[in-house]
Structure 1
Amino acid sequence: MTPDEFRRHGHQVIDWIAAYQEKIESYPVRSQVAPGEVLDALPQSPPETGEGFEGVLADLDRVLMPGITHWQHPSFFAYFPANASGPAILGDLLSSGLGVQGMLWATSPACTELETRVVDWLAQLLGLPEAFRGNGVIQDSASSASLVAVVAALHRAGGGKPGRDGIEARYTIYTSSHTHSSLEKTARICGIGAAAVRVVDVDPQTLAMDPARLETMIAQDRAAGAVPLLVCATVGTTSTTAVDPVPEIGAVCRRNSAWLHVDAAYAGVAAVCPELRWLNDGLAQYADSYVTNPHKWMLTNFDCTALWVADRAPLVGALSVLPEYLRNQATASGEVIDYRDWQIPLGRRFRALKLWSVIRWYGAQGLREHIRSGIGLAQQLAGWIEADAAFHLHPHHPLGLVCFRPLWPQLPDAEADAATLRIMQRLNDSGELYLTHTKAGGRVLLRMAIGAPGTEQRHVRGAWDRIAAAVRTEAAP
C-alpha cells in the first residue's frame, strides 16, 4: 500500500468510524447472530492474490457488523463501561502508525518517557500518594497487573530471589468472595495453586471484606505453617461496586508482613472528582500496589490499565532478565527505565499516546464532567427503582452501577430468581438494551452499569421503563 493509497483508504476508515458513531443508536445493542453465523459467512481459505481494501470495508458491513455487540451504544448497561472517544482512537491510530515496540528505553525513548510522565499526570489527577510518582506503568489489563503484583510480592517474600527460585514456603493469598476471578488464575500461573487462595467472608450488608475475619484466617494459616503473601482489597467490586475497608485491611497486612494489592479497576478513575477521593483511603499508608483502568470509565479505549507500586525494587527484581541481545549503553547506565522489566511480556505497545491524547483533549474538567454525569444518571435510576414498590434496590450504589431485582411475592426465591433471569434474557434479546446479573445474599440481582459517553437521561429512562413494563407483564395473571 503506497502512501497515497493509505491516505485514500485512511480517509475512508475515519469516515466509516465517524458515521458509525453518528448512527450507533440504530443498531441492536447486543449482536443478534447465532453461534457460527459469522464464521459461515467467511471464506474457508485466504485469497491467493490481494483484493484491495474496498472489499475489506464491504465485508465489515456485510459480515462482521451483524456480529458486533455495541459497547459504545448509549443503552449498553451490561458491563462496566469500555469507553472509546475520538482523542483515544486517534492516539491509538498514531501508535499503530508509528509501529513502536517500546520494550526498552533505547528502542524509542519517547515511548518510555511519555509513559512515565502521563502516568504521573494520572496519579496527580486522581490524588494518589506521592510514593506512586515515578513508579507507574501501563499494563494491558487489571488481570495482568494482579499477576505482576503477585510476582513482585513473591520476590519480596523470598528475600529477593526471582519468582519462586529456591523458595520452599507455602504461600497464601486472600480475597473476598467478590474479588475479581483473576486472582485465582494468577495463583495458578505463579505455581502457588488455586487452593492457596483464601476467600474471606464479607459484611452481609455492604458486601465488603471483613478485616476481623481476614486476621483470623491469616492467624490460622500461620499456625498451619503457611506464609501470608498478598491480600487483594477491592475498591468497586465487579458484582456490586462494594468497597473493601482498605485502611483496616492494610493494618492487618502490615501486622502480618503481607503485600497489599488494591484493585480499583473500575472505580479508581472516579477519584478525578475531588468529592470522590474517599476512594483512595488507606492507599498512602498501606498499599504496595494499586491498579485502575482508564479503559473502563475514563474515555480511553481498550487496552490501558495503570499500575503503581510504592516500591519498584521487588517488581523490577522479579521481572528483570537481561539476555545479551538486549544489552545497551542506556540500560547499563542505570539512568533510564526499561518497562519490559515491569510487565510479563517483553514487547509493549505505545499505549501512552492514547492516554496522553485523552487527558490533553478533555482536561481534568472534562474528565470530571464525564464521571459526574454517569453518577448523576445512576442516582436518578436508583430513585426511580426505590419509588417503585415492585422492586428491591440494592442499597450501596455510590458510583455508576445500580443493582436491583423485581419482587415476586407470590414465588419462592428460586422461582423468583428464574423469573428475573427470564425477564433479563427477553430484554437483551430485544436489542433495545443490554443488562447482566449477579448474585448477592443468595439472590439474583440485575446490574445496570451507566457510563457510556453517549448515554443520556432518555436512554436510562427508556431502559427503566422497558424493565418495569416487562416485569409487570410477567407478573400479570
Structure 2
Amino acid sequence: MDIEEQVRYAAIDQICDYYQTLNQRPVKSEVKPGYLLEQLPTSPPAKGQPFNEIAADFQARIMPGITHWQHQKWFGYFPSVVTFESILGDLYSSSVTNPGFNWSCSPACTELEQVVTDWMVEVLGLDPVFRTSGGKGGGIIGNSASESCLTAAIAARERALRYLASQESKTLNGLGHDGAAGHVTQSGTATPQTAGGPTAVPLSVREKHTKNLVMYVSTQTHSVGSKAALILGMQCRALPVHAPDYSFRGDVLRKAIEEDVKNGYIPFFVVGTVGSTSSGAVDHIAELGEDYPTAFLHVDAAWAGVAYALPEQRKPLRLDEVNKYADSFCTNMHKWGLVGFDCSLFFVRDRRDLTEALDITPGANIQAYLRTKEGDSGAVIDYRNWQLALGRRFRSIKLWFVLRGYGVEGLQAHLRNGIEYCEQLTTLVKRNASFEIVAPPILGLLDFRLITDPKAEDPELNALNAELMDRLNSRPEVMLTQTVLKSVESEVYCIRFAIGAQKTTWEDVEEIWHVVEQEGAKLLGEWKQKQVAN
C-alpha cells in the first residue's frame, strides 16, 4: 500500500472517529462570519496538492465551521439523521456516478428507484395507487420537499390549463385524471405520436387563464408553497388558522375559493401539511380535498411523513385522508428517516400529471438525442420526464442500503425512541409552572415558552422569550430554534424542542431541558427585580 492509499484509508477512519467522538464536541460552531474567507487563498492552486494536505485542511479549517446536525444533543429545526449505511451508499453511488436521466443511462439506477419507492409505499401504508409497479401512480426520489412542491404545482397548473382548454373546445382531450392524449403504457409513458406527445395547451388558453390561477396554503405552511408561487409567477393566498392546533381547515379554504371564483379567479392548487415546521400541525386533509376535487391537492409531510411507518401514528396523522384525497405526497427520509441528505420521496396518484407537464421528448426533433428505443416503446420509465432537471443522482442506493441494514423494525424503533422522549419531556415541562406548552405536542416536537403570569399579555411574553432564546443561543451545548405561531387569536413567540437524532438518549434531552430551566429561572428573577424597581 503506497502513501496515497494509506491516506485514503485514513480518511475513512477519520469519518468513523468523528462519529465516535461527536458527543465530545459542542453541537454548534462558534466561528465568526468570514472566518473561512480569511483563511483560504483567493485563487485555486496551479498544481495539484497531496491528499494528506487537503485532508489536514479539512480538519483544521472546515470542521471548526461545521454545526453538528448528527449530534445527540441536536434539538433545533428538525433532525437531519444519517447512518453508516447511508454514507456508504453515497460512496458507492459516487463511484459509479452518472446523470441517470433515462433508463439506458444506467438501468440499475432507474429500476432500483422503482423498487425502493414501492417498498416505501408499503412501509408508510400509502394506498397501492402510489406504487410505481401499479402502472398509474408512482414515486420518485428528489432532493427536497421544496422541489417536490414546485413540481406538483407545475403539474397542477398544466392539468388545470388542459381542463380549461378542453372545456373551451368542448372535447375531452387532456382532462388530467379523466383522460389523456394517446395510449398510456404500463410504464406510464405516452406512446409516440407523430403530431402528439403530451397534450399541448393552446397559447391563447395559456395567456388567457394563467394570470387567474390561484394556489392556497395556510399561514403555517412551509415556505415551499409561497416559493413555488414566486417561481411560477402565480398568486398564492396564505389563509389563517386557529389556535391551539394551527391546522388548515376546509371552511376557511371554501370561503376563500368561493370569493375568488366570484371574482373570476381559478383555484388550481392546494397545499396541505402533515406536521408543519412551526407547530407540527396536521391539516384536515379530507376537508381540503373533498369540496373542490378539481383543484390539485399536494400533501407536504416532509418531517412527519416517515412516522406513517408506525401503525399507531397513522390515524392521528390522517393517513386515510391522504390516501383518499392527495394527488401528490412528499416526505423526506433525510430528516428523521435514517438516510442522509438528500433523499426526498415524492409520490403521485397519476404519473400522467407529471409526464403531461414535463415530457418534452415526443415530436421535438431538437431533443432527438434523448430518445431511446426502450423509452419510445413505453417499456421503461425515464425519470427525467417526472422532474424539473434532466440529470439526477443515484439516490436510491443509500435508501436501499438503509432499508436492508435496519429493516422496517429498525426504522420503527428509531422513530419510537424520539416520540417516547418527547412524551417524557412534555411531563417535565408541565411540572414547571414557569413554562407553558403552546401547541399540542406531536411526535418528537414540543413548543413551549417561559411565562411570568398566566394572565400576561403576548407582547410581553414574546419579548421575554426572545431574550431567553438569545441566552440559550449563547451556550454552545444548546441547539434549539424559535418560531412564531401566528393565528387568528394571537401571535406567540416560542421555543421549539425537536427530538429525533439517532444517538440521542433521554439523558441528553433531560440535560438540555435543565439548562433551559436554569436560564429561565435567572431571567424570571431579573424580570421580577425590574418589576419591583418600577
Q: What range is the shorter-chain TM-score in? A: over 0.9
Q: Cα offset for 1:6?
A: 6.6
Deviations 1:314-340 (A, max 9, x none): 211101112111111111111100001
**Mean alpha-carbon deviation: is it higher for 199-208 or for 173-182?**
199-208
Structure 2 residue corresponding to 1:244, chosen from 277, 283, 294: 283
Contact 2:86 2:398 survives alignment (8 Å): yes
Is 1:466 the equivalent of 2:515? Answer: yes
Contact 2:90 2:395 survives alignment (8 Å): yes
Q: Cα offset for 1:108?
A: 0.4
Query: What is the distance in 2 between the residues matched to 1:64 and 1:28?
Result: 15
Give the AA of the match of 1:182: V
Give the AA of the match of 1:472: A
Residue 140 of structure 1 corresponds to 143
Q: Unmatched 5+ residue regions in structure 2?
A: 133-137, 163-173, 175-198, 362-366, 530-534
Contact 2:458 2:491 survives alignment (8 Å): no
Give the AA of the match of 2:217: T
CA 1:164–1:4: 2 relative to 1, 3 Å: farther
Tell me which structure has the larger Cα radius of gyration: 2
Structure 2 residue corresponding to 1:258, chosen from 282, 295, 320: 295
Deviations 1:288-317 (A, max 9, x none): 000000001010000000000000102111
- What SS is found at the alignment partner of 1:137? strand
Query: What is the distance in 2 between the residues matched to 1:290 and 1:164?
Result: 29
- What SS is found at the alignment partner of 1:48? coil
Structure 2 residue corresponding to 1:297, chosen from 331, 336, 340: 336
Contact 1:119 1:136 survives alignment (8 Å): yes
Residue 66 of structure 2 corresponds to 68
Q: Cα offset for 1:188?
A: 1.9
- What SS is found at the alignment partner of 2:314? helix
Q: Cα offset for 1:5?
A: 6.8
Query: What is the distance in 2 between the residues matched to 1:90 and 1:4?
Result: 23
CA 1:91–1:250: 2 relative to 1, 3 Å: same
Is 1:274 the equivalent of 2:316? Answer: no
Query: What is the distance in 2 between the residues matched to 1:32 and 1:69?
Result: 9
Is 1:342 the equivalent of 2:371? Answer: no
Residue 20 of structure 2 corresponds to 22
Query: What is the distance in 2 between the residues matched to 1:6 and 1:287?
Result: 52
Query: What is the distance in 1 between the residues matched to 2:432 and 2:110?
Result: 53
Contact 2:279 2:439 survives alignment (8 Å): no
Residue 155 of structure 1 corresponds to 158
Q: Cα offset for 1:52?
A: 0.9
Is 1:45 the equivalent of 2:36? Answer: no
Aligned residue pair count: 470
**Mean alpha-carbon deviation: is it higher for 261-270 or for 202-211?**
202-211
**Mean alpha-carbon deviation: is it higher for 201-210 or for 415-424?**
415-424
Residue 450 of structure 2 corresponds to 406
Contact 1:155 1:164 survives alignment (8 Å): no
Contact 2:483 2:495 survives alignment (8 Å): yes
Contact 1:251 1:286 survives alignment (8 Å): yes
Give the AA of the match of 1:336: V
The residue correspondences of 1:12-411 to structure 2 (distance < 5 A) are 12-134=10-132, 135-159=138-162, 160=174, 165=203, 166-167=205-206, 168-169=208-209, 170-192=212-234, 196-254=235-293, 257-278=294-315, 279=317, 280-322=319-361, 323-409=367-453
**TM, length-normalised to structure 1:** 0.96
Deviations 1:174-216 (A, max 9, x none): 1010001121111121232xxx111222132210012111101
Give the AA of the match of 1:258: A
Q: Cα offset for 1:414?
A: 2.7
Query: What is the distance in 2 between the residues matched to 1:452 and 1:325?
Result: 45
Q: Cα offset for 1:162?
A: 5.8
**Mean alpha-carbon deviation: is it higher for 438-447 or for 227-236?**
438-447
CA 1:397–1:11: 2 relative to 1, 3 Å: same
Give the AA of the match of 2:433: A
What is the percent sequence identity of the aligned residues? 41
Q: Cα offset for 1:395?
A: 4.1
**TM, length-normalised to structure 2:** 0.86
**Mean alpha-carbon deviation: is it higher for 293-302 or for 387-396?**
387-396
Structure 2 residue corresponding to 1:432, chosen from 458, 463, 477: 477
Contact 1:154 1:163 survives alignment (8 Å): no
